[in-house]
């Protein structure tokens, strides 16, 4: 299991980038596939150096996540309840 060096942080909020990583891992994507997908993204505010580019690219290509409609993704913004519900609905195919 991949987590933080601080263990399970139940009270910590999730960012949009962290949520993309969780969703991609839940779909069974390997870390090698994530590394292969890393780099430039379609989002203006996600630099190639961001740790989650591979996850964001894969989650976006799987249509599990969407940007904000203005070309941005806001990777370090806390995911809202509504955003998380939409993402979970997409991953479950409902």
Confidence of residue 12 (pLDDT cuts 50, 70, 90): confident
Q: Of 87 and 3, which is predicted with more confidence?
A: 87
Do 79 and 16 contact (CB within 8 A), yes or no? yes
Q: Return the structure tokens found at 48.
A: 């190639």
Average pLDDT over residues 61-67: 94
pTM of the full predicted structure?
A: 0.87
Q: Is the pLDDT of residue 3 over 60?
A: no
Domain residue limits, the chain? 16-92
Do 23 and 87 contact (CB within 8 A), yes or no? yes
Per-residue model confidence as pLDDT tens digits over 22-54: 999 999 999 999 999 999 999 999 999 999 999
Per-residue model confidence as pLDDT tens digits over 69-84: 999 999 999 999 999 9
């Amino acid at each position: 299991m991949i987590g933080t060096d601080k263990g399970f942080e139940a009270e910590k909020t999730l960012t949009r980038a962290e949520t993309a990583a969780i969703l991609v891992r839940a779909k069974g994507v390997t870390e090698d596939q994530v590394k292969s997908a890393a780099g430039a993204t379609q989002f203006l505010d996600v630099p190639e150096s961001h740790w989650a580019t591979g996850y964001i690219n894969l989650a976006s290509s799987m249509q599990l996540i969407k940007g904000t409609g203005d070309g941005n993704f806001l990777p370090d913004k806390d995911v809202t309840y509504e955003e998380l519900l939409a993402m979970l609905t997409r991953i479950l195919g409902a």
